[in-house]
Each structure stands twice: as structure tokens, then as C-alpha cells.
Amino acid sequence: MEILFEASGGVGLVTLNRPQALNALTLGMVRALDKQLRAWMGDPNVRCVLIQGAGDRAFCAGGDIRALYDSGKSKSGTLTADFYREEYRLNRLIKRYPKPYVALIDGVVMGGGVGVSVHGSHRIATERTLFAMPETGIGLFPDVGGSYFLPRSPGRVGFYLGLTGARIKAADCLYAGIATHYVPSGALGSLIDALRKNAGDAVTDVVARFAVSPGKAPLEQDRDTMDRCFAESSIEAIQNALEADGSEWAKGARTAMGEKAPTCEKVTLRQLEHGRTMAFEDCMVMEFRLSQRAMAAHDFYEGVRAAVIDKDRAPKWRPASLAEVSDADIEAWFAPLPGGDLDFS
């Protein structure tokens, strides 16, 4: 079974159960989780939901991009629309869930894994947490609600994370608002037991008894440079500001951006700027539009080829440079979909 469910002691426990694939989400997992969350929502015997990943490497490393690649390349079936539509509806269900939703983010969490954790009421990082939104490196954009939560991180932290795909650990996850608590990995089993045994206590109080400080966030030391450089209004201007700064941190950020798909970098900057002032549901409608434009474009298939299939790490983006990507090209990604936009019915 790709996903497991268990309810006891007032706790509904979800286990993403594809450890060999770093618990990457399939459409079947999305559908099963959506159905179970709705059932638990109306079950008086379930007062909170916990979600965890199987194995000791990952909470969830993302969506099953190989399946999307295969479906899109063969032009067979409707997976490239169905997966994103149902995944985004699930993200919204978690965001609006009426009961405490506790994500145990122990290990790698990227892409789709962020979508089934970051919107929950309690997001627990451990010393093994490794977060990233690396989508622009495979011809996508930071989705699953990235347009909502990234620009709401302090200053321009979310813009930095979305445009560079930077990997961060627990202390930075708390600093950025991605996680709400830090609990050592070895204490998670005791935390689950305590939630089951203390049904009369508020979930927040139980979690607080296990939470400790993760230490100082490395992101803090570069915040001034980050806020200044990533406040520029174009990708070119951000890169120029990083180059002019000249620090090792700025050079690293500049290099990371230069490796990403030029179109997706420009799409992402506009997406995050729009998302700063949009309601969550409106962000998801926007992201569904972007997902379908990405599925119809060259860069996603080239990015997955280079990262997952041939593993040569040498994608040939099309267009290959920022200068070749016009404002009109980017605007077209945000236009309403001819077949109809995402709805939440």
C-alpha cells in the first residue's frame, strides 16, 4: 500500500509509504488522502490528524514527476491535468482543515511533500529535515501553495528560496515560517503516544512539551543582502544586484539562479509577487494555470530528462536565456485556461 491510515486514541495517523521513492506522491495517494481526511473531518472519534513518511530518509520528496513526464511525453491520458487539479484541491483541504493537522517533517521535504505539510496547523521539523522548492530546476515553478506561503516568509526569504531552490534545515524552516516547532527525531514516537494518551489536552500544549530550540537560523546572517537583492523587480536586476554584492553568499545565489530554466525563473518571480496579496484559493487557481502551461511547454520534459532520466545535469532550456523570454511570453502563462480554471467543488 502506497499510503496507510490508522485511527486510535483520537489520532488519525497517515503514513506515506513509498520509502524506496522517498515517499513521492502519486495520484492514487492524493485521492486516498483526500477521501480519508474528509471522512475523519466528520468523525467525532478523531480529534487530530498526524502525517508522517515511512523510512528514515524522507517525509516526502515531491510528486511523482516521472509519471507526469511519461504521460505528457506520450500524450496519453489526462494525468498532467488530473494530478495537479486533485493535488491542489487536497492542499486547500489541508489549509482549511477544521481539526489540528500535525505534519512530522522528518527527513527530505520538497515540492508535493511541502504541499501536504506546510498548510497544516502544526509543522514539526527535526534534525533530519531538509526542505527545498527546487522546481525551477526541472522546468516548473514553486507550486502546491508556494505562491501563498513563500512571499509570506520574512522579508524576501521566500523569493530567495523559490528562485534558487536553496536547501535549508530545521532552524531555517522555523525562521521562514515553514515549520512551527522543532522536536528531535527520536522523540517523535513519544509525541505520537502523548497525543493519543492526552486526548483532553490541546494539541498545541502537547506538542509544546516536546519542542526545543533548533538553534540560530543561518538565513539570518544574510538577510540584509537577501532582502536588498531579491527586492529587485526583474530576474536580470536580481542577478545584477547579487553580482554587484560580490559576497560568497551572493555568488552562490547568483550561480544557482543561472542554472534554472529562464522562463520558469521569470514565471516564479511574477507568481510570488502576485501571491503576496492573493487569497489562498486564488493562489491555487493561478498555480493550476501555470501547471498546465508548464505541462504543455518544453522545459519540464527537458528538466526531468536531465535530472531523473539521463541524469546528465545538463538541461537545454528553450529559450536558453533570460533575454529571449518576453513579458508577453510570461503573461500568457497566467491567462485563464481555455478548458476552465481550477474549482473547489
Would you call 63 a catalytic residue per the annotation? Answer: yes
Among 135, 222, 265, 287, the active-site one is 135
Number of C-beta neighbours around residue 274 at 10 A: 15
Query: Whose grid coordinates read 513526464?
Result: 69
322, 235 in Cβ contact below 8 A? yes
Sequential DSSP letters for 130-194: EEE--GGGGT----TTHHHHGGGSSTTHHHHHHHH---B-HHHHHHHTS-SEE--GGGHHHHHHH
Check if the beta carbon of residue 150 is closer than 8 Å to that of residue 158. yes
Task: Indicate the helix (H) or strand (E) that contains 60.
Answer: strand 58-60
Catalytic residue among 87, 143, 172, 287: 143
CA nearest to 334, candidates 284, 271, 279, 273: 271
State how far the alpha carbon of 270 is from the alpha carbons of 19, 24, 129, 135, 330, in Å: 35, 28, 29, 15, 8
By the 8 A CB rule, do 164 and 131 touch? no
E strand or H helix that includes residue 23: none
**C-alpha cell recorded at residue 292:** 498546465
User: For residue 196, which of 5, 7, 10 has the smallest C-alpha distance?
Assistant: 10
What is the C-alpha to C-alpha distance for residues 56 and 192, in angstroms, rounded to an integer? Answer: 17
Which of the following is catalytic: 63, 137, 162, 275? Answer: 63
Q: How far apart are CA 27 and CA 84, in angstroms?
A: 9
CA distances from 272 to 51, 163, 306 (A): 27, 10, 26
Would residue 112 show up in a list of annotated catalytic residues for this protein?
Answer: yes
Contacts with 127 (C-beta within 8 Å, 6 or more apart), sequence order: 169, 170, 184, 185, 214
Query: Active-site positions?
Result: 63, 112, 135, 143
